[in-house]
């Protein structure tokens, strides 16, 4: 079976990387991880990659004079490993438009909010502060503007009355871990593609159930 060749970019604990590793372990999953790149040394995600016998490479941004040379090294590494789709999985550096445009429509990101709400950092705390009834997470194609680009998949997560930042982070991550492998599968199967500022779908089941919180 043909497998889409992934490059996964991380900066930290790598639980989303783990979700992709676990999905790729199934013989009938249509993607495989070619390389894991971390911009930070000694992070837990690198251990996860090593444990799964993956090629894991640290490209520490601090070793480079500027962002361009750092990104050139990342680009070279992805190209050397024949990567077809780059998955940002908790990769916490903003990428320049040069890099993003080089990988246009072959670069996706996961973000812990219902975009376009709550771009940037501390999304869960900000949602709680605002008292919104739903938080969520989003997988999208990357465009040069931060946390922007055609939306592939989202989960809406009800916020409980006794929700804390910690509980909301944990709850959101469980949805992230379900969604990332599912979104990559859709791409690998040719069921989604970026079309203008949106995504076009083919043969996908959207469901028609809304979620209401609190339940009426
Ligand atoms: C995840 O919640 C991911 O959505 C978020 O960082 C966490 C990484 O966790 N990404 C961003 O905020 C990107 N803007 P992980 O390293 O355990 O996958």
Domain ranges within the chain, ordered by starting residue: 4-110+137-149+178-201
The pLDDT tens digits of the residues spanning 133-187 come to 999 999 999 999 999 999 999 999 999 999 999 999 999 999 999 999 999 999 9
The pLDDT tens digits of the residues spanning 72-122 come to 999 999 999 999 999 999 999 999 999 999 999 999 999 999 999 999 999
**What mean pLDDT is reported for the chain?**
97
| pTM summary value | 0.98
- Write phi, then psi, for 9 (nearest 5 degrees): -110, 130
- Write phi, then psi, for 191 (nearest 5 degrees): -95, -10
pLDDT at residue number 21 = 98
pLDDT at residue number 19 = 98
pLDDT tops 90 at residue 7: yes
The pLDDT tens digits of the residues spanning 19-62 come to 999 999 999 999 999 999 999 999 999 999 999 999 999 999 99
- Nearest protein Cα to ligand 1, atom 12: 111
21 C-beta closer than 6 A to ligand 1: no
208 falls in which pLDDT band (50, 70, 90)? confident
Quick check: helix, strand or coil at residue 160? coil
Taking the centre of ligand 1 as the mean of its atom positions, its distance from the CA of residue 216, in whole angstroms, is 32
Q: Which of 11, 86, 112, 155 to mutate to test the pocket of ligand 1 (most atoms within 8 A of CB)?
A: 112
pLDDT tops 90 at residue 195: yes
Distances (CA, A) of 180 to 38, 68, 97, 101: 18, 28, 24, 22
pLDDT at residue number 51 = 98
Distances (CA, A) of 50 to 42, 53, 55, 130, 192: 12, 5, 7, 40, 31
CATH homologous superfamily for the domain 4-110+137-149+178-201: Formyl transferase, N-terminal domain (3.40.50.170)
């Amino acid at each position: 079976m043909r497998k889409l060749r992934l490059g996964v970019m991380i900066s930290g604990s790598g639980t989303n990387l783990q979700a992709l590793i676990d999905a790729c372990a199934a013989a009938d999953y249509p993607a495989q991880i070619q390389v894991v790149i971390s911009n930070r040394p000694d992070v837990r995600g690198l251990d996860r990659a090593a444990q799964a016998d993956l090629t894991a490479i640290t490209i520490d941004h601090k070793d480079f004079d500027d962002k361009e040379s750092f990104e050139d090294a990342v680009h070279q590494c992805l190209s050397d490993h024949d990567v077809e789709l780059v998955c940002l999985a908790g990769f916490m550096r903003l990428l320049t438009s040069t890099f993003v445009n080089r990988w246009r429509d072959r670069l996706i990101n996961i973000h812990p909010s219902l975009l376009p709400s709550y771009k940037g950092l501390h999304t869960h705390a900000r949602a709680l502060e605002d008292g919104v009834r739903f938080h969520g997470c989003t997988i999208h194609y990357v465009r040069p503007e931060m946390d922007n680009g055609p939306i592939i998949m989202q989960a809406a997560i009800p916020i409980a009355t006794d929700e804390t930042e910690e509980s909301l982070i944990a709850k959101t991550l469980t949805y992230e871990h379900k969604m990332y492998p599912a979104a990559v599968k859709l791409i690998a199967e040719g069921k989604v593609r970026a079309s203008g500022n949106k995504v076009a779908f083919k043969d996908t089941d959207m469901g028609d159930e809304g979620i209401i919180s609190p339940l009426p």
